[in-house]
Amino acid sequence: MAQQLDYEPKLVALLCRWCSYAGADLAGTSRKKYPANIGIIRVPCSGRVDPLFVFKALRMGFDGVLVSGCHPGDCHYQTGNYRARRRMVITKRFLEYMGIDPRRIQASWVSASEGSKFAEVTSEITHELKEIGPNELFSDNGKGTRTEITK
Amino acid sequence: MNYSLTTEKELEQKLQSEAHALLKDGCCDYIIGFEQGSLPFTTTPLITKNQEDVNRLVVNSFIVNNLSHFLNEIKGRIGIVVKGCDSRSVVMLMTENRIKREDIFILGISCPGMIDLNKVELLLSKNSEDLEDITREGNNVVVLSDSKEILPITDVLYDNCLGCNAPIPQEYDILIGEASYLVTDKEASQRKINLVKSLSTEERWQYWKDEFKRCIRCYACRNVCPVCYCEQCFVEETEPRWLSPAPNWQDNLMFQVVRNLHVAGRCTDCGECERSCPVRIPLRSLTREMYDIVVDSFGYEAGKDKDAPSLMAGYESSEVEGVFR
């Protein structure tokens, strides 16, 4: 496990354009520290997130996926985050049944004013992912599929 | 009263006369039902405009297919023969505005459960070509070959029939056969799923990995599925390309997992995907588990209520919050 000490997980964050993306922006402008392990993808709404995106990220070798959107009731499109909530609940439970550690699939509500919450959430998740270790789900030789990301 | 051969013949005659009347009166343009297949103990879909052809319609314990899939493709007024699970698929298609209720005439059959020929072959270690007759007598199945064997019905029904709680169609215009004679066995229907659940997380992944190494990506599971009606499936998208078209286990698994996530809350556990699989991957272990997850999380049963909104459109502001930070 000596290698794991310097292991840095890679995390994809699918952030809603109205709340969480602005929240991440605020975390930056207010000089909050959050891990550099995170790659942000902006989506129009958390309701836009197809479970396909989550699984594709895992397939590509990312260690975890975070889906984040506006708090319930605050959706810019009224109901998008309710749909996202239903989707994430079943996605997480189903992937657990398949044999994927449920901690690899994360979801959060972060509003545009919660820069510090965004920093907290991402550091917590990074910490958890370090505990689980690298994503070797799709590897045949035990090396993982990280090359696909760095290409 | 028990389900027997005479009941089957009565039901068949009733169905034929009803279907005949529908075509004669011009109530329907087409009738979709089942006729005898080219091999013994099989049936094949019958889609017809002709009044003479309806005499070929059959009702027996081998009318396994879910015909509601054809409603996606055939336009016009259609009379369709459905069992309990098929009717839920029909309701699902109505919920999703694929079809209009007034365009279809539903000939419901109160389903006695379908016999899995593979199970019979396995139990008797005989090929189905060597069997002369399979008949139902009460809660037993009598199989005639060089010898006469009596099997309990719960040993030979499909897994999804054993776990069925609604053998009588949800929605029908005419119901053929009043009561249902289905004998269920919840334990047996969940056997394969419980096996997977008893494994650890790593073992479960290994199990599915081994199963999907066999997959040849023929897409039969998708093509028979009544709710898989997308014009372009994500597997065929090239911009971006979600997965490789080559059948390697990683992409086979991804295809099936994402397909299941896409039919969540729409799948009615009809078991067509597993039946159509040429390499016998236990696909129902995925669809049924997803069905149970949806029921457990949101109390939503696909196709049980035609006025209810679909899973993703119906939400409550206060519900399971657990997974969100």
Which whole-number Å values give the CA distances from B225 to B35, B94, B130, B221, B259, in the listed order? 20, 15, 31, 6, 10
User: Is A55–B315 a contact, with Cβ atoms under 8 angstroms apart?
Assistant: no
B276 Cβ neighbours under 8 A, 6+ residues apart = B220, B221, B223, B224
Stretch B73-102: mean pLDDT: 93
Q: Does A49 touch chain B (CB under 8 A)?
A: no
- Which among B205, B311, B313 has CB closest to A98? B205
d(C-alpha B157, C-alpha B268), whole Å: 18
| Count of structural domains within chain B | 1
Q: Does A98 touch chain B (CB under 8 A)?
A: yes
Q: Does A147 touch chain B (CB under 8 A)?
A: no
Residue B138 pLDDT class (50, 70, 90 cuts): confident
Q: Does B25 touch chain A (CB under 8 A)?
A: no
**pLDDT > 70: what percent of chain B?**
98
User: Is B261–A107 a contact, with Cβ atoms under 8 angstroms apart?
Assistant: no
pLDDT tens column, A49-100: 999 999 999 999 999 999 999 999 899 999 999 999 999 999 999 999 999 9
The ipTM (two decimal places) reads: 0.90
Q: Does A106 touch chain B (CB under 8 A)?
A: yes
Residue B240 lies in a domain: yes
**pLDDT > 90: what percent of chain B?**
69
pLDDT tens column, B18-65: 999 999 999 999 999 999 999 889 999 999 999 999 999 999 999 999
d(C-alpha B121, C-alpha B100), whole Å: 41
User: Is A56–B289 a contact, with Cβ atoms under 8 angstroms apart?
Assistant: no
- Which among A59, A73, A93 has CB closest to B317? A73
pLDDT tens column, A101-146: 999 999 999 999 999 999 999 999 999 999 999 999 998 754 444 4
Residue B245 lies in a domain: yes
Residue B17 lies in a domain: no
- Which among A79, A82, A108 has CB closest to B325? A108
Distance of CA B285 to the CA centre of its chain: 14
Residue B7 pLDDT class (50, 70, 90 cuts): confident
Domain CATH number, residue A144: 3.40.50
- Which among A52, A55, A108 has CB closest to B324? A108
pTM: predicted TM-score of the whole model, two decimal places:
0.91
Residue B69 lies in a domain: no
Stretch B288-301: mean pLDDT: 93
Containing structural domain, residue A107: 2-150
Q: Which of A71, A94, A97 to mutate to probe the B interface, most B CBs <10 Å? A: A97
- Are the C-beta atoms of B222 and B228 separated by less than 8 Å? yes
Written as one letter, the residue type at A117 is: K
**CB-CB neighbors (< 8 A) of B237 in chain A:** none
In 3D space, the residue among B151, B175, B154 whose CA is nearest the CA of residue B18 turns out to be B175
Question: A110 to chain B nearest CA, in Å?
Answer: 9
In 3D space, the residue among A52, A54, A59, A55 whose CA is nearest the CA of residue A139 turns out to be A59
d(C-alpha B178, C-alpha A134), whole Å: 58
- Which B-chain residues 266-295 have CB contacts (< 8 A) with chain A? 289-290, 293-294
Residue B223 lies in a domain: yes
Residue B89 lies in a domain: no
What DSSP line would sit under A96-147, residue for residue?
HHHT--GGGEEEEE--TT-HHHHHHHHHHHHHHHHHH----TT-SSSS-STH
Which whole-number Å values give the CA distances from A31 to A22, A26, A39, A119, in the listed order? 14, 8, 18, 10
Which whole-number Å values give the CA distances from B30 to B48, B89, B104, in the listed order? 6, 19, 10
**CB-CB neighbors (< 8 A) of A89 in chain B:** 297-298, 320, 322-323
pLDDT tens column, B175-184: 988 777 788 8
Residue B130 pLDDT class (50, 70, 90 cuts): confident
Q: Which two tokens stand for residue A142?
A: 């035990």
Residue B246 lies in a domain: yes
Burial B132-161 (b: 16+ CB within 10 A, else e): eebebeeebbebeeeeebebebbbbbbbbb
**CB-CB neighbors (< 8 A) of A99 in chain B:** 199, 201-208
Neighbouring-strand partners of residue B48: B31
- Are the C-beta atoms of B33 and B81 separated by less than 8 Å? yes
Burial of residue B322 (number of CB atoms within 10 Å: 0-12, 13-18, 19+): exposed
Query: Which is it for the CA torsion B191, B194, B199, B204, positive or negative?
Result: positive
Question: B168 to chain A nearest CA, in Å?
Answer: 28
Q: What is the DSSP letter of B57?
A: B
pLDDT for res A147 = 44
Containing structural domain, residue B214: 190-325
Stretch B264-281: mean pLDDT: 94
Q: Does B243 touch chain A (CB under 8 A)?
A: yes
User: Is B293–A98 a contact, with Cβ atoms under 8 angstroms apart?
Assistant: no
Residue B103 lies in a domain: no
Neighbours of B42 (CB within 10 A): 15
| Count of structural domains within chain A | 1
What is the biggest distance separating any 2 CA atoms in chain B, rounded to whole angstroms?
65
Q: Does A128 touch chain B (CB under 8 A)?
A: no
